[in-house]
C-alpha cells in the first residue's frame, strides 16, 4: 500500500487504541517515518483461528495488545450471546500466565465480558493452562479464555479459547467468532467494566486447585506408589511449578528437587533462549540438578504447563531425554495395562505421531483413532467417539510433548501427565526395572519404531510459492516407487476426499505414504512457519540382546536418508 494509506491506517488505529503504552509506541513509529515497521504491523489483522490468537506484543492490528484483546473479547461475547441459550447458568472462565501483559489482557477480557452482560469466573493470580481449562469444564463454562503464549519466546503473548464442551474450538466455530470480531468497532468504543469485586466476578483459586488435584488422583492408574523416587523438576520459569509439585507429592512422590533458578514465574525466561522443553539446551539445568542429587527421573513443563518432557537414566551413567513419541507410547501402555481389559477403551493420537500407539492399543483390546494435528481434534474426536461407541477415553497424545490423561482436562495437560509418568517409573523400579527396560519390552512386542522430522525452510513469498509447487508434485499417481530401498505401497492425499472421512481427519495439506513392512512417511507444510515438513516413522524388529541405542541410531540414519530422498523428489533439499 502507498505511504499515505499506511499512515492513515495507523492514525485511525491510534484513535481507537485505549492503551497509552501502545499509543506512544505507534506515535514514535509515525514520527520516525518507519514505513517498513508500519507496513508489517498494518499488513492485515492478527488472525483468530482454532488456536485463538498468538503474536508478538506491540502496537497495531498484527500484534498482541489491549486493543486486539478488547475487540476479540467483544466478538466472542457477541458470538456467545447469539449462540448459547443458557448463558444465565454458564459463566465464562478467564485465566492467565506470567507473561508480560497477561494479567492486563485478562482484566480487559473480564471487563468486556461483564459489560456485555455475561457472568464471569476468573483466576486473579497466574494459573497453569490445564487448571484454567479444568475449571471451565467443572463450571460448565460457556467458554474459557486463557491468556498465554505457551512455550513461545518472551516477546509473544496469546489468547486461547475453549468451547462449551471444554475442548478447544474447531471449525466452523472459529470462523463464526472471527466474523463477530470483524464486526466490532474501535477498541476505545467497546464498553468494559474497569473495576469489580468478588460479589460480581467469582474468584477461582484454592477450591479449583483442590478439585483439579482430586481429578488427577482419580485418573491415576489405580495403585499405590510402590517405591519412592528422587525427581528433578523444572517449570522453565512458568506457572506450573507449585501445582505440579503438589500433585506429585499428593501422589506419594515426596522427593522432588526443583531447579531453583527456573522455579519462580518470570516472563523474561532468563535462563533459556526459547522456553520450549523440546529445544536443545532447555533441560540443561534440570539435568545438572538431577546429576547433583542422583535423581531417578527428570520432569519439565513448558511455561503454561500443558506439555511434559522427561529424561531417564541411561546405561552410561548419564540421562537420556525421551522423545514425545516414546513418552506417549509409555504412558498409553501404562494406562491400558492398569485398566480393565474387558472395558471398551479408547486412545487417540495425532496423525503425525508414531503409529506404534495403534499396535499398543490393539494388544490391550482398546480402540484407536488418529486425528489431524492439535488437541482440538484429539479431544473433540474422543468426545464424539465416546458418545457414538460408549467407549471410555483413556489417553491421547501428540508427538510435540502433549498428553491427555483421560478426561481430567479436555486438552493436553503436563501436570497430570507428570504424575502418571512418575507412577510408571516408580512401579517399574519396584519390579527391578527401568523405563529403558519397558521400552525394549514394547519394541520387542510391537517392533522398534523410530520417528524423525526433517524440514526444508523457504522464507519469504517466493519460498512459500516453492513449498506450494513441491506439494503439487506429490499425490496419487505422483509418488516415488520406493524410498530408502523400501517399496511405497500406498498413498493417502488428505487434500481431497474429506467427505469420506470423519471430521477430525478432514481436508488438510498432508500426503501420507505407506511403506512395506508398516513404516510410513508424511509430508505437509508448516501451519506457522515457512517450512515443508517430512515425518518418517520407521519400523524394524528388535531382537533380544541387540543394543537399543545402536539400533535407534541405525534407523535414524535410514529415516534421514528417506526424508532427503522424498524432498529431492519434490524438488527441495532439507536443512
Q: What is the per-residue pLDDT across 263-306, written as a single tens digit (0 to 9) for each? A: 999 999 999 989 999 998 999 999 999 999 999 999 999 999 99
Of 204, 221, 243, which one is at a domain's C-terminal end? 204
Of 421, 445, 469, which one is at a domain's C-terminal end? 445
Distance CA 418, CA 128 (A): 14
Residues 333 and 222 in one domain: yes
Q: What are the cell numbers at 575?
A: 536443512
Residues 267 and 140 in one domain: no
Half-sphere exposure of 186 (CA within 13 A, CB side): 13
Residues 429 and 492 in one domain: no
Residues 101 and 170 in one domain: yes
Residues 32 and 133 in one domain: yes
Decide if 575 is inside a domain. Answer: no
Give the helix/strand (H/E) hosting 144: strand 143-147
pLDDT digits (tens, 9 = 90+) for 115-146: 999 999 999 999 999 999 999 999 999 999 99
- Strand 143-147 and strand 92-96: pairing? parallel
Q: Residue 41 has what pLDDT?
A: 94
Residue 1, pLDDT > 90, answer: no
Q: Which of 102, 150, 349, 451 is catalytic?
A: 150
CATH number for the domain spanning 303: value is: 3.40.120.10
Residues 279 and 369 in one domain: yes
Residues 441 and 455 in one domain: no
Of 445, 460, 491, which one is at a domain's C-terminal end? 445
Residues 98 and 161 in one domain: yes
Distance CA 376, CA 162 (A): 9
Residues 177 and 260 in one domain: no
Q: Is 350 a catalytic residue?
A: no
Confidence bin at 575 (pLDDT 50/70/90): low
pTM above 0.75, yes or no: yes
Residue 224, pLDDT > 80, answer: no
Residue 392, pLDDT > 80, answer: yes
Domain assignment of residue 46, given as a range? 3-204
The total domain count for the chain is 3
CA distances to 330, 342, 396, 434, 520 from 445, rounded to whole Å, are 13, 21, 21, 17, 19
Confidence bin at 24 (pLDDT 50/70/90): very high
CATH number for the domain spanning 523: value is: 3.30.310.50
Q: Give burial (CB, 10 Å; 0-12/13-18/19+) of 488.
A: middle
Residues 457 and 542 in one domain: yes
Decide if 43 is inside a domain. Answer: yes
The helix-helix angle for 3-16 and 20-32 (nearest 10°) equals 160
Residue 573, pLDDT > 80, answer: no
Residues 173 and 221 in one domain: no
Residues 143 and 169 in one domain: yes
Amino acid at each position: 500500500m502507498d505511504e499515505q494509506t499506511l499512515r492513515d491506517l495507523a492514525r485511525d488505529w491510534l484513535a481507537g487504541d485505549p492503551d497509552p503504552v501502545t499509543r506512544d509506541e505507534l506515535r514514535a513509529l509515525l514520527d520516525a517515518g518507519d514505513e517498513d515497521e508500519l507496513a508489517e504491523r498494518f499488513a492485515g489483522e492478527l488472525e483468530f483461528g482454532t488456536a485463538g490468537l498468538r503474536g508478538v506484543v506491540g502496537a497495531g492490528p498484527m500484534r498482541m495488545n489491549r486493543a486486539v484483546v478488547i475487540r476479540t473479547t467483544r466478538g466472542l461475547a457477541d458470538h456467545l450471546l447469539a449462540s448459547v441459550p443458557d448463558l444465565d447458568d454458564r459463566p465464562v472462565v478467564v485465566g492467565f500466565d506470567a507473561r508480560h501483559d497477561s494479567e492486563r489482557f485478562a482484566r480487559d477480557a473480564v471487563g468486556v465480558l461483564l459489560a456485555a452482560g455475561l457472568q464471569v469466573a476468573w483466576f486473579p493470580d497466574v494459573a497453569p493452562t490445564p487448571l484454567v481449562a479444568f475449571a471451565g469444564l467443572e463450571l460448565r463454562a460457556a467458554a474459557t479464555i486463557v491468556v498465554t503464549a505457551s512455550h513461545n519466546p518472551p516477546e509473544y503473548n496469546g489468547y486461547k479459547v475453549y468451547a462449551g464442551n471444554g475442548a478447544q474450538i474447531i471449525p466452523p466455530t472459529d470462523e463464526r467468532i472471527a466474523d463477530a470480531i470483524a464486526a466490532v468497532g474501535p477498541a476505545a468504543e467497546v464498553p468494559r467494566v474497569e473495576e469489580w469485586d468478588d460479589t460480581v466476578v467469582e474468584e477461582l483459586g484454592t477450591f479449583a486447585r483442590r478439585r483439579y488435584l482430586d481429578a488427577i488422583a482419580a485418573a491415576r492408574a489405580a495403585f499405590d506408589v510402590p517405591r519412592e523416587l528422587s525427581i528433578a523438576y523444572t517449570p522453565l520459569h512458568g506457572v506450573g511449578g507449585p501445582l505440579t509439585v503438589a500433585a506429585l507429592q499428593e501422589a506419594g512422590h515426596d522427593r522432588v528437587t526443583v531447579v531453583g533458578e527456573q522455579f519462580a514465574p518470570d516472563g523474561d525466561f532468563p535462563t533459556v533462549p526459547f522456553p520450549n522443553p523440546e529445544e536443545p539446551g532447555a533441560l540443561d539445568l534440570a539435568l545438572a540438578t538431577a546429576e547433583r542429587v542422583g535423581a531417578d527421573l527428570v520432569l519439565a513443563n513448558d511455561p503454561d504447563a500443558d506439555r511434559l518432557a522427561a529424561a531417564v537414566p541411561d546405561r552410561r551413567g548419564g540421562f537420556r531425554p525421551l522423545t514425545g513419541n516414546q513418552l506417549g507410547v509409555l504412558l498409553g501402555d501404562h494406562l491400558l495395562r492398569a485398566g480393565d481389559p474387558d472395558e471398551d477403551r479408547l486412545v487417540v493420537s495425532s496423525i503425525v505421531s508414531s503409529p506404534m500407539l495403534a499396535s499398543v492399543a490393539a494388544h490391550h483390546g482398546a480402540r484407536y483413532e488418529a486425528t489431524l494435528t492439535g488437541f482440538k481434534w484429539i479431544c473433540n474426536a474422543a468426545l464424539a467417539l465416546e458418545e457414538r461407541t460408549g467407549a471410555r477415553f483413556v489417553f491421547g497424545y501428540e508427538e510435540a510433548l502433549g498428553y491427555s490423561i483421560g478426561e481430567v482436562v479436555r486438552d493436553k495437560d503436563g501436570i497430570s501427565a507428570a504424575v502418571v509418568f512418575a507412577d510408571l517409573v516408580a512401579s517399574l523400579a519396584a519390579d527391578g526395572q527401568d523405563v529403558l527396560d519397558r521400552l525394549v519390552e514394547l519394541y520387542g512386542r510391537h517392533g522398534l519404531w523410530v520417528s524423525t522430522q526433517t524440514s526444508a525452510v523457504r522464507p519469504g513469498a517466493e519460498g512459500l510459492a516453492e513449498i506450494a509447487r513441491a506439494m503439487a508434485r506429490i499425490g496419487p499417481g505422483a509418488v516415488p516407487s520406493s524410498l530408502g530401498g523400501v517399496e511405497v505401497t500406498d498413498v493417502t492425499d488428505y487434500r481431497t476426499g474429506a467427505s469420506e472421512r470423519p471430521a477430525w481427519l478432514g481436508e488438510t495439506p498432508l500426503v501420507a505414504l505407506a511403506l512395506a513392512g508398516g513404516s510410513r512417511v508424511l509430508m505437509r507444510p508448516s501451519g506457522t512457519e515457512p517450512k515443508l515438513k517430512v515425518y518418517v516413522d520407521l519400523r524394524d524388529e528388535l531382537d533380544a540382546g541387540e543394543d537399543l541405542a545402536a539400533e535407534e541410531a541405525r534407523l535414524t540414519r535410514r529415516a534421514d536418508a528417506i526424508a532427503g530422498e522424498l524432498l529431492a523428489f519434490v524438488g527441495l533439499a532439507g536443512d
